[in-house]
Amino acid sequence: MRPERDENQRKLPDRRTEPTRPWGALPPAGRRMLARRDDEHHRHYFVDRFSGGLLALILAILLSCILDAMLTVHLLGSGAEEINPLMNSLLQRGLLSFLVGKYVLTSVGILLLLVFKNYYLFGTRVRVGHWLPAIAAGYFVLIAYQVWLIVGGGGY
């Protein structure tokens, strides 16, 4: 049996009476890294904080994006062509547009994947966050291919 609590005995104001502030999820305010209850692991949920390993993965993806852009520019100077229509249109606007556009698109995409990392995809058991290592691996393969082209495997 639980004793009744008097709401007037609270030492701190009830935080649920005010809406969450925009900076409320910024460190050190946020404390939720995982679902707290077993049944939450089977539903969508948001978190306030992320692991150091996830930060390293995000940084690796962003650095890979920059390296991919630099290798692409080098290959284009050697006679290669950009086959991605969106990136090709950014290249037509200029090198700075290409570099900034590529980085911004990647950053926004990664940010969205990070926010929704605990959402299940299309009713499957695959979460959105499971795509982050796949994206990093895809960049690794792409960069390896570009280096192979530059070294002489592709005839450029």
> Could you tell me the pLDDT band of residue 19, with boundaries at 50, 70 and 90?
low
Helix, strand, or coil here: 127?
strand
C-alpha 98/C-alpha 75 separation (Å) is 14
Which among 45, 87, 79 is positioned nearest to 154, based on CA atoms?
79
Residue 127, strand partner residues: 120
Note the pLDDT of residue 114: 84
Mean pLDDT to the nearest integer, 76-86: 92
Phi then psi for residue 68, to 5 deg, are: -60, -40
Q: Which of the two residues, 51 and 147, has the higher pLDDT score?
A: 147
Longest dimension (CA), the chain: 79
Task: Say whether pLDDT at 145 is over 60.
Answer: yes
Q: Which of the two residues, 130 and 67, has the higher pLDDT score?
A: 67
C-alpha 133/C-alpha 143 separation (Å) is 15
> Could you tell me the pLDDT band of residue 137, with boundaries at 50, 70 and 90?
very high
User: What is residue 37's DSSP assignment?
Assistant: S
Task: Say whether pLDDT at 101 is over 90.
Answer: yes
Enumerate the domain spans of the chain. 50-156
Task: Say whether pLDDT at 86 is over 80.
Answer: yes
Note the pLDDT of residue 105: 95
Instruction: Please state, for a pLDDT cut of 70, what percent of the chain lies above it.
Output: 66
Phi then psi for residue 155, to 5 deg, are: 80, 15
Fill in the amino acid letter for 152: G
User: What is residue 15's DSSP assignment?
Assistant: G
